[in-house]
């Protein structure tokens, strides 16, 4: 079992059934039996999926008499969003550079020159 929270979250999100359960819970709190209805899997299988989601902190389960409500824990996805944001910024920067380059090609302007990298001296200084 992964030790870090992000790995645990991604492991829980890797299964399409668990993602479908989260999508349903995004609409509001519901019971375990209502969550199980659209799936052609056993009750124990749904229970195992819910345990994985609960372990990852993606859902919370309660107990009110005979009703077992489940609800999504939206803050649990904050870590995933923060992790993805780094890559989102990287790709936006790359796309901005590509857009600039394509604009220079369309206008016929000379391409901007990339800054020269400083080469490290090898060997002894003379």
Please state whether 107 falls in left (phi above 0), alpha (psi between -120 and 50) or beta.
Answer: alpha
pTM: 0.69
* Domain residue ranges of the chain, discontinuous segments joined by +: 5-73
**CATH number for the domain whose boundaries are 5-73:** 1.10.10.10
pLDDT in tens, the chain (126 residues): 445 888 999 999 999 999 999 999 999 999 888 888 999 988 899 999 999 999 999 999 877 766 778 999 978 888 889 989 999 999 999 999 999 999 988 887 666 666 666 655 555 554
- Say what the pLDDT of residue 115 is: 65
What is the rounded distance in angstroms from the CA atom of residue 2 to the CA atom of residue 32? Answer: 26
- Say what the pLDDT of residue 69 is: 86
Under a CB-based contact definition with an 8 Å cutoff, are residues 17 and 26 in contact? no
Residue 110: C-alpha distances to residues 78, 90, 100, 123 (Å): 43, 25, 12, 38
- Say what the pLDDT of residue 1 is: 42
What is the rounded distance in angstroms from the CA atom of residue 33 to the CA atom of residue 68? Answer: 8
Token pair, residue 19, equals 């993602």
Token pair, residue 34, equals 């209502």
Alpha helix positions (H), 1-126? 5-13, 16-25, 32-36, 43-55, 78-107
- Say what the pLDDT of residue 3 is: 55
pLDDT digits (tens, 9 = 90+) for 79-112: 889 989 999 999 999 999 999 999 988 887 666 6
């Amino acid at each position: 079992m992964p030790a870090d929270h992000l790995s645990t979250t991604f492991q829980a999100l890797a299964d399409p059934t668990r993602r479908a359960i989260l999508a349903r819970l995004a609409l509001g709190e519901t019971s375990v039996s209502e969550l199980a209805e659209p799936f052609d899997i056993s009750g124990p299988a749904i229970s195992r999926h819910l345990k994985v989601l609960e372990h990852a902190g993606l859902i919370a389960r309660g107990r009110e008499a005979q009703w077992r409500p489940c609800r999504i824990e939206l803050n649990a996805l904050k870590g995933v969003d923060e992790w993805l944001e780094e890559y989102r910024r990287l790709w936006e920067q790359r796309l901005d550079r590509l857009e600039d380059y394509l604009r220079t090609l369309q206008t016929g302007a000379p391409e901007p020159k990339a800054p020269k990298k400083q080469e490290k001296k090898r060997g002894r200084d003379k």
